[in-house]
Structure 1
Amino acid sequence: MTVRLRAHHLLCMLTYVGRGYSPAFTANYDRVLERLAAGEEIELVTGPDDICAPLLDDPGAHCRLDRIRDRDEAAALAVGALLGRAIPPGERLVPTPVLVARLRAAFRDGTIRAACAGCEWSELCTAVAAADFAGARLDRSTDRVLRFGPSAPRCP
């Protein structure tokens, strides 16, 4: 199986610390990270993805808005430029610790943050990045296996 992610969620997963739109959303987000930790690949999709799932019962969910699709396009361009190749919908990525470290370094220095402009979570993500991603649920491992951080503290 694969984890279906929209492009801007490649950025969000770097700084996710257990906060979200609802308890159902954060529980689902944690499950998605556990799937990545279990070795599932990421498949880039257009529109709502596995992280958005708990919000989709609401016909007005923000994940369907044009500005969010624009955020996806900006993220895909930035991450693609970093990787030196296009990452269109359907592209698959393996979230190795090397890739996560590279994305985090570019996120921290602002190289891939164009998609974050106007996002309500931007300040939180900036603070997490400035703290070297302390508390982020996506854990870095030295054994080349991406792990979900079970000891990552929950934010209030």
Structure 2
Amino acid sequence: MTVRLRAHHLLCLLTYVGKGYSPAFTANYDKVVGRLGEGEAVLIVSGPDDICAPMLDEPEPHCLREGAAERDGLAARDVGALLGRPVQAGDRLALDPASLARMRTAFSSGQTRRACSGCEWSGLCGAVAAGGFHDTRL
């Protein structure tokens, strides 16, 4: 199987420590991270993905707002520059330990954090990165 991810979730995964918008969201996120930890590949998608799924039943899911799409564009550019190739919907990626380490180094240095500007989770993610990514689930 393949985990469907929007581009900015490539960054969110780096600092995920089990906190989220709701218990259902966190439980689902844990399942997605488990699948990735077992070696499932990533398929980049445009719009809501496997992480967003529990949010889509809300009256106005933030996953559908323009800001989320803007974050995707910024993350795709930054991660693509890091990987040396474009990252866009339809691309498949493997998140092996070496690529995760490289992505975390870039995240810590700020190289791939433009998509995080204005995100309500930015402070937590910054603290996780500053702490060496301890207790992350992936």
TM-score (norm 2): 0.99
CA RMSD for the aligned pairs?
0.6
- Counterpart of 1:10? 10
1:127-147 Cα offsets, whole Å, 9 max, x none, are 000000011111xxxxxxxxx
Cα separation, 1, equivalents of 2:80 and 2:128: 23
1:105 is the counterpart of 2:121: no
Aligned residue type for 1:132? G
Deviant stretches of 4+, over 4 Å: none
Cα separation, 1, equivalents of 2:23 and 2:9: 18
Cα separation, 2, equivalents of 1:128 and 1:78: 20
TM-score (norm 1): 0.87
Identity among equivalent positions (%) equals: 62
Stretches of structure 2 lacking an aligned partner (at least 5 in a row): none
- When Rg is computed on C-alpha atoms for both structures, the one with the higher figure is 1
Cα separation, 2, equivalents of 1:59 and 1:3: 25
Stretches of structure 1 lacking an aligned partner (at least 5 in a row): 139-156
1:71-119 Cα offsets, whole Å, 9 max, x none, are 0000000000011100110100011101000000000000000000000
Cα separation, 1, equivalents of 2:47 and 2:7: 9
The structure that is helix-richer by fraction is 2
Secondary structure of residue in 2 paired with 1:58: coil
- Counterpart of 2:32? 32
Cα separation, 1, equivalents of 2:124 and 2:52: 19
Aligned residue type for 2:46? T
- Counterpart of 1:128? 128
How many pairs align?
138
Secondary structure of residue in 1 paired with 2:123: helix
1:41 is the counterpart of 2:53: no
- Counterpart of 1:94? 94
